[in-house]
Structure 1
Amino acid sequence: MPLFAIICDDRPGGQEIRAANRAAHLDYLRDTGVVVLAGPFQDDAGGMTGSLLVLDVADRAAAETWAAGDPYARAGLFASVAIRPWKKVVG
């Protein structure tokens, strides 16, 4: 199956939304079984400002459906979400 990178930027002031939904988000990542890697973007002070996820799913439609179901997305955390096909070369 192809890989897709999901690149998300938090909306301004989204720290409370992120904190309130973090456990559900992490459960979703684990329970869906399609996440290859995931982690937050950070500012210079170490605060979380967005997310990078790589999914192993059937197609773009599956990646879009997965992204829409993420508790962070459902809670309105993200100002923007980009989904791009991604090819692993190293690592």
Structure 2
Amino acid sequence: MPYFAIHCIDKPNSFDLRAETRPEHLDYINGFADRILVAGPLLRPDGRAMGSLLIMDFEDRDAAIAFSAGDPYHKVGLFESRSITNWHKVLPA
């Protein structure tokens, strides 16, 4: 299966919304654990989350979009922007 990078940037001043939604987000993501290459928050210089990056395998881009649309973070409007890009793993082999 091809990999897809899901890159999301939070809306300004959304730390509380992220924190409140995190348990539901993690439950949702863990339901796809077998598809995750890497996943985690993007961090500001002060260590606070400012977005998310997930690299996952899906059959096609439509499946990656459907997964992302089902994420509780997306459903509550946490993200200012979201991109889903095909990605190819080169290293480590």
Q: TM-score, normalised by structure 2?
A: 0.93
The reply on whether 1:24 has 2:24 as its aligned counterpart is yes
**Aligned ranges 1:51-66 → 2 under 5 Å:** 51-66=52-67
In 1: Cα distance, 2:50 partner to 2:90 partner: 26
* Aligned AA (1:59): D
Which one is further off, 27-36 or 76-85? 27-36
Shift >3 Å, 4+ stretches: none
The reply on whether 1:75 has 2:76 as its aligned counterpart is yes
Residues 33-60 of structure 1, C-alpha deviation per residue, up to 9 Å, x if partnerless? 3222101111111010000001111000
Alignment root-mean-square deviation, CA: 0.9
Q: TM-score, normalised by structure 1?
A: 0.95
Identity of aligned residues (%): 45
